[in-house]
Amino acid sequence: MGNMETVLFYGFAATALAGAAGVLLSRNIVRTAVWLLATLAAAGGFYFLLGASFVGAVQLIIYAGGTLVLIIFGVMLTARDPRVSFEPRRIEIAAGALVCLVLAGALVWVFLGTRWYQSPIAQRDGQGIARLTSAQIEALAPGVKDRLTDLDAEGTANIGRQLLSTYLVPFEVVSLLLLAVLIGAAYLARPRVPASPKIGSGAGPKEGRA
């Protein structure tokens, strides 16, 4: 019997790939968004598997609860397009598929062919994170030793610490960016005309007579 991680990984992988395939192949844009939900949820599962439970929870809150709602919201607002199904041309499909297959193959080839650096902190047994012995910690480089963290219990607190120390500048930039986005999105989506057109287009009565 394989261990839990294997089973969960393949389960999540199947969900994520099914979701991705659905996104790719679905014609209906709302269904595309629902397939995306599957991928996002599975990605959240991966984050939990990778020991980044905080990122996983953030993924659920922001991505699934926020961004996806926003996307579906956008779909509903723009769904009254007469051309509901956007049929891509065959040549487009062929080109896209070709490029992507080549790209995927190249990426996989590169990934599998590379010997990645493995820091001693990341060495762990099958069941979880190996706690380093004090001797191993002493042996680490000083820069790494200061930032030594566990990936579980204290991980969230350390993420916070890093955000406000090592990553302070990006953090501030992102907060500024969010503010800009807030204002920009509100500006872009503002009604172009005063939202009280006092004209009757006659649609109502006509509909009534029919």
Site for other proteins in 142-201 (CB under 8 A): 144, 147-149, 151-153, 155-156, 158-159, 162-163, 166-167, 170, 174, 177-178, 181-182, 184-189, 191-193, 195-201
Amino acid at 142: P
- Rg (C-alpha) for the chain, rounded Å, is 25
In the list 11, 15, 71, 138, the residue contacting other proteins (rule: CB under 8 A) is: 71
State the nearest-atom distance from the C-beta of 15 to other proteins, in Å.
11
State the nearest-atom distance from the C-beta of 12 to other proteins, in Å.
9
State the nearest-atom distance from the C-beta of 18 to other proteins, in Å.
11
Region 113-142 residues binding other proteins, contact defined as CB under 8 A: 116-123, 126-128
Rounded distance between C-alpha atoms, residue 18 and residue 22, angstroms:
6
Rounded distance between C-alpha atoms, residue 64 and residue 48, angstroms:
15
In the list 11, 15, 100, 134, the residue contacting other proteins (rule: CB under 8 A) is: 100
First to last CA, the chain: 68
State the nearest-atom distance from the C-beta of 169 to other proteins, in Å.
12
Rounded distance between C-alpha atoms, residue 158 and residue 88, angstroms:
47
State the nearest-atom distance from the C-beta of 138 to other proteins, in Å.
16
Region 28-47 residues binding other proteins, contact defined as CB under 8 A: 28-34, 36-37, 39-41, 43-44, 46-47
> How big is the CA angle at 171 (ends 166 and 175), to the nearest 5 degrees?
170
Instruction: Name the residue nearer to other proteins (CB basis): 76 or 139.
Output: 76
Q: Residue 197, exposed/middle/buried by CB under 10 A (0-12, 13-18, 19+)?
A: exposed
The structure tokens 């579980």 sit at 152
Nearest to 163 by CA among 70, 26, 58, 62: 58
